[in-house]
Amino acid sequence: MTEPEAPDWSDLAAPDAALIEQLAHGAIASLPEPYRAAATAISLRIEDFPSEEIMAAMQIEDPFELTGLYEGTPLTEKSVMDQPQQPDVIWLFRRPMLDEWLERGDIGLADMVTHVLVHELAHHFGWSDDDIASIDPWWE
């Protein structure tokens, strides 16, 4: 019995930031209303890793520990009288997400991106674990 030939991966590249962003926008488009409309108002940023400033503020030493971050004021704490200080931003960190995705090996990349995005949206919307579970089947 001969061993199967190893696949040739030399022409393949890791999923890039544009693909991660496309998957994130797809996840937003699949949200139930009224969350979908509100989620489109949040700025989405894709970076390979969190910045040194973000890591210091969160007291994180290993950049692979952070797959996403919500930066802003949760809707549960906002008032119509408040003047916006800065736009709400969801950061998705490509390399840590790809590492977790590969380590798991049991989910698709779109599911990984959706999971991280929904977790960050939960901070914005003030969702409970039950709210998250109703939107992201990852929790089941």
Dump pLDDT digits (tens) for 72-112.
877 666 666 666 677 889 999 999 999 999 999 899 999 99
Kindly report, residue by residue over 15-24, the tens digit of the pLDDT.
Answer: 999 999 999 9
Q: How many domains does the chain have?
A: 1
Nearest of 11, 9, 78 to residue 41 by alpha carbon: 78
Residue 97 counted as domain residue? yes
**Mean pLDDT for the stretch of residues 128-137:** 78
CATH of the domain at 121: 3.30.2010.20
The mean pLDDT of the chain is: 87
Which residue range(s) make up the domain with 69?
Answer: 17-73+87-139
What the block records as the tokens of 86 is 């800065």
Average pLDDT over residues 112-125: 92
Residue 10's pLDDT is: 78
**Is residue 96 situated within a structural domain?**
yes
Mean pLDDT for 56-77 is 89
Q: Is 10 inside any structural domain? A: no
Residue 5 domain-assigned (yes or no): no
The answer, yes or no, to whether residue 114 has pLDDT greater than 60, is: yes
pLDDT of residue 89: 94
23 domain-assigned = yes
Q: How far is CA 29 from the centre of its chain?
A: 14
Exposed, middle or buried: residue 38 (CB in 10 Å: 0-12, 13-18, 19+)?
A: middle
Q: Is 11 a domain residue? A: no
